[in-house]
Amino acid sequence: MSSEELAALGAALGATVTEERKSTVISVPPSKVVEACRGVSSLPGLYHLSTITGVDLGDDIALLYHFWRERRFVQVRTTVPKAAPRLQSISGVLPAAVLYEAEIQDLLGVGFEGNPYAGKKLLLPDSYPPDAPPPLRREADPEKIRRIMELE
């Protein structure tokens, strides 16, 4: 993996680029995610988006976009505040992201503007209580949600 081309991409985006165990991490603000993903995926061999991971950090939600080439991953990383978890969808640039974003929308309540599943459900049952927190958030209590859904 040529780290120069990633360093150059990071510099063009004004992002910090760090090397971790198996990943090169490009940290960007939410407004630059689409641009960063377009940049990474247009590098030779990096078209494959493995998936997007959402991590609940407490006050924020981290979104990690994993691209893979040879023995390294390239990770575009951003955080959105839990109070207003919205950002632009990358599905216009990378259609492969449609279902990954829809999954995060269901499980962590992050809104992706421009995703065809915006406002719809992919994984959760239609009967999932609208006032309950998304199930993968730390504040979600599985027992409580189960009671609301009258499964017990």
Partner 1 sequence: MRYSPEGMMPFGPVHPSLKEPEYFKLILEGEKIVQVIPRIGYVHRGIERAAQERTWTKNIYLFERICGICSFHHSLSYTEGVESLYPFEVPARAKYIRVVVAELERIHSHLLWLGLVGHWAGFDTLFMWIWKDREHVLDLEEEITGNRVHKSYSAFGGVRKDLPDGIAQKVRAELGYIRKRAEYYRGLVQSEETLSVRTKGVGRISQDTARRLSPVGPLLRCTGIGRDVRAEDPYAAYDEVIPNVQTSTGGDIASLLVLRIDEVLDSCRMVEEALEKMPAGPFKASFPRVAPAGESTYHVEAPRGELFYFVKSGGGSTPERVKVRTPTMANLLTATEMLRGHTLADVPVVLTGMDPCFGCMDRVAVVDVDRAKEWSVSGEELRSYGIEYYRGRRS
Residues that bind partner 1 (CB under 8 A): 20-23, 47-51, 53-56, 64, 66, 68, 70-71, 73, 75, 94-96, 98-100, 103, 106-107, 120-126, 135-136, 142
User: CB-wise, 8 or 122, nearer to partner 1?
Assistant: 122
User: CB-wise, 14 or 70, nearer to partner 1?
Assistant: 70
User: CB-wise, 28 or 107, nearer to partner 1?
Assistant: 107
CB of 40 to partner 1, least distance (A): 13
User: CB-wise, 22 or 86, nearer to partner 1?
Assistant: 22
- Long-range (24+ apart) CB contacts under 8 A made by 8-15 are 9/36, 9/39, 9/40, 9/43, 12/39, 13/39
CB of 134 to partner 1, least distance (A): 11
Measured CA distances, 76 to 6, 30, 145 (Å): 11, 10, 33
CB of 86 to partner 1, least distance (A): 21
User: CB-wise, 8 or 98, nearer to partner 1?
Assistant: 98
Residues near 103 by beta carbon (within 8 Å), at least 6 away in sequence: 122, 123
CB of 69 to partner 1, least distance (A): 8
Listed residue (32, 35, 43) closest to 24, CA to CA: 43
CB of 46 to partner 1, least distance (A): 11
DSSP per-residue codes, 39-106: HHHTSTT---EEEEEEEE-SSEEEEEEEEEETTEEEEEEEEEETTS-EEE-STTT-TTHHHHHHHHHH
